[in-house]
Chain A
Amino acid sequence: MRKFVHRLSEDMPAWALRAFMLVFFVFLIAPIAIVVWMSFSAQSYIGFPIQSYSLRWFRRVVEYEPFLNSLIVSIKVAVLSTLFATAIGVPAALALARSRSKAADAIATFLVAPISMPLIVLGFALLFYLSTLGFGLSLLALLIAHSVVAVPYIVRTVIGVYRSQPADVEEAAMILGASRWQTFRYVTLPLVSPGIFAGALFAFLISLDNLPISFFFGSPETSTLPVILLSYTENQFDPSIAAVSTVQMLLALATLFVVDRIFGIRNIGAPT
């Protein structure tokens, strides 16, 4: 008996820790789960208990023009800025990853720096800078701003993945007579492709949810979904926000699923 009590007190922290974990994950998931649940409500107000269920709020997503239009703008901006950032970010990352020079280190730090900036600062600065340059509140301005945020994610993940690969494989290819281009195309590129896709995925998801930059460029043609949602939630409190958010979440999940299926994602969320 005494032994049992002793063991129980020894195990106490483990049990306490387990209970704590449960509370923690409820805390993490509850605000999200409740929104998904709410989005299927048939009521015209937010309230519990939910009396009946329907898909009427999802229909509103399609019918209420600002939601649909801004969703399209969001996807357009996310796709284009990710593609552009990949196009300039990947060559830079590959050139910088294996170089030992101080300059390369400095450049890499510079390219990754925007990750650590408060985005609201960058958005504010870009708004005035781009309107001085004459871009104003255009889709192009929005694309440029989102690309600035996307480049660091791509550069960082590609550098990380490339550095973790041994250089021997590429050396072997070159010693065996592959040209520089062949080595790049058939050895280097396949080696780093998981990094490219993980980085692009990050950039895409972050652009899709970006608010602190997007809201500076808000005009009827350039409002992204988060901007529309913010102004909507500031004034109204009905389940349509729940439905739009659920759609956006499903979009992100689908992207993640597809990219994972095709390429497999290692390192996701791993801080470098």
Chain B
Amino acid sequence: MTMTLASGKARRFWKTMTGRSSSGPTISLVWSLPAVFFMLAFFLFPLADNMIRSVGADGGWSFAPYKRLFFDPYYLEVLGVTLGFSFAVTLACLLVGYPVAYFMVRHAGRLYGLCIFFLVAPLLTSIIMRTFGWRVLLARQGFANAFMMEFGLIERPLNLLNGPVIALLATVQVLVPFMVLAITSSLQGVDRRLEESARLLGAGRASTFFRITAPLTLDGIGTGFILVFMLANGSFVTLLLLGGGSLQTFPLLIYQQINSTRDFVLAGAMSNVLLMSAVICLVIQARLLRRRGTKP
């Protein structure tokens, strides 16, 4: 009794002395300076430098590359494809990922850990390995064709590779775990009694889901959506190796500019457009997080 009293007193004393409420001994912010300087020098400055470089041609200001990106029909289409492809990937991830997250939280029970393992394990493999895997599965002498011919489903190998659909599938395969993890974390916070009440009051399965469960997990959906959209916006490996040139996006064009065409001014402008789209996503994400009351 006296001990607790004493420790309570001591703690109060400590709090008054330091003017803080139970945040422990703080380490001076000075310790963050090495990291801050490093990131200023090699993260912020390069991006700023790149931005200045893209508008400052020969001492004057020139927005020519941006004019090309936003007014030339070809590049306008590429911009549309970049955003459209990312959006399609994100939507597919949501449609595929939500039921998975729902199963994991509501039905998996003891299998939850196993599901997490299978979800996270692919993240340990390289993106090239997975893209390569799709090619092995779908190539002319690949697994799918051999399998279907063996069972007499087809007579001649089909050309399954190299198309927007395969590139989309492969990108979804890479990014869907992020969506599932974002949704499971918010689904875990949903009070099951709300769903049960809705059912008891006569709501069907579907209307319970769409009017109770889904709205309550909007935060997770939003976080996952923005995360996946951002990642899809910067990805190019699957499109490069599986798209077969059917889709041109900014990251893909940047890669090609570096490898062959070497129009660095245009590539710089494209990378800045990508950067802007990432910043917009970040701002939206920060809004979402603030509404939820959590810090990044």
| A contacts, CB < 8 Å to B | 13-14, 17-18, 20-21, 24-25, 27-35, 38, 45-49, 88-89, 91-92, 94-96, 98-101, 103-105, 107-114, 116-122, 124-126, 128-130, 132, 144-145, 147-148, 151, 155-156, 167-168, 170-171, 174-175, 180, 183-184, 188, 205, 208-209, 211-212, 215-216, 226, 229-230, 233-234, 237, 241-242, 245-246, 248-249, 252-253, 256, 268-272
Complex CA–CA separation, A60 to B74 (angstroms)? 43
B275 touches A121 (CB 8 A): yes
B128 touches A270 (CB 8 A): no
Across chains A and B, which 6 residue pairs bring their CB atoms closest together, nearest first? A118-B234, A31-B133, A167-B24, A245-B129, A48-B146, A47-B141
A175 touches B27 (CB 8 A): no
B136 touches A121 (CB 8 A): no
Q: A18-B103, A245-B126 are in contact. List 15 more A-B contacts (CB 8 A).
A: A18-B107, A31-B170, A46-B135, A91-B32, A98-B26, A99-B29, A113-B282, A116-B285, A128-B49, A171-B24, A175-B10, A245-B128, A270-B185, A271-B182, A271-B185
Q: Can you report 11 residue pairs joining A to B where beta carbons are below 8 Å apart?
A: A31-B173, A48-B143, A94-B27, A95-B31, A98-B26, A98-B27, A100-B20, A113-B282, A174-B14, A237-B139, A272-B294
Residue of B50, B115, B119 with most chain A CB atoms under a 10 A cut-off: B50
* Interface status of B215 (Cβ within 8 A of chain A): no
A128 touches B119 (CB 8 A): no
The 8 Å CB contact of A120, one of B115, B120, B251, is B251
Complex CA–CA separation, A95 to B233 (angstroms)? 33
Q: Distance (Å) between the CB of B135 and the closest chain A CB?
A: 7
B35 touches A116 (CB 8 A): no
Complex CA–CA separation, A156 to B294 (angstroms)? 13
Q: Distance (Å) between the CB of A194 and the closest chain B CB?
A: 17
The 8 Å CB contact of B11, one of A45, A171, A184, A249, is A171
Q: In the assembled complex, which residues on chain B have CB atoms less than 8 Å from the CB atom of A89?
A: 35
Determine the main DSSP class of A at the interface with B. helix
Residue of B129, B181, B254, B294 with most chain A CB atoms under a 10 A cut-off: B129
Given contacts A31-B173, A126-B46, contact A269 B251 (CB under 8 A): no
Complex CA–CA separation, A170 to B133 (angstroms)? 50
The 8 Å CB contact of A124, one of B170, B173, B258, is B258
A47 touches B14 (CB 8 A): no
* Interface status of B36 (Cβ within 8 A of chain A): yes
Residues 237-266 of B contacting A (Cβ, < 8 Å) = 237, 240-241, 251, 254-255, 258, 264
The 8 Å CB contact of A98, one of B7, B23, B32, B294, is B23
Q: In the assembled complex, which residues on chain B have CB atoms less than 8 Å from the CB atom of A269?
A: 116, 119-120, 123, 177, 181
A95 touches B234 (CB 8 A): no
Complex CA–CA separation, A118 to B171 (angstroms)? 15
Which stretch from B37-45, B56-64, B65-73, B190-198 is at the chain A interface? B37-45
Q: In the assembled complex, which residues on chain A have CB atoms less than 8 Å from the CB atom of B7?
A: 175
B124 touches A120 (CB 8 A): no
A110 touches B36 (CB 8 A): yes
Residues 165-181 of B contacting A (Cβ, < 8 Å) = 170, 173, 176-178, 181
* Interface status of B274 (Cβ within 8 A of chain A): yes
Complex CA–CA separation, A37 to B131 (angstroms)? 15
Residues 95-151 of B contacting A (Cβ, < 8 Å) = 96, 99-100, 102-103, 107, 115-116, 118-137, 139, 141-143, 145-147, 150
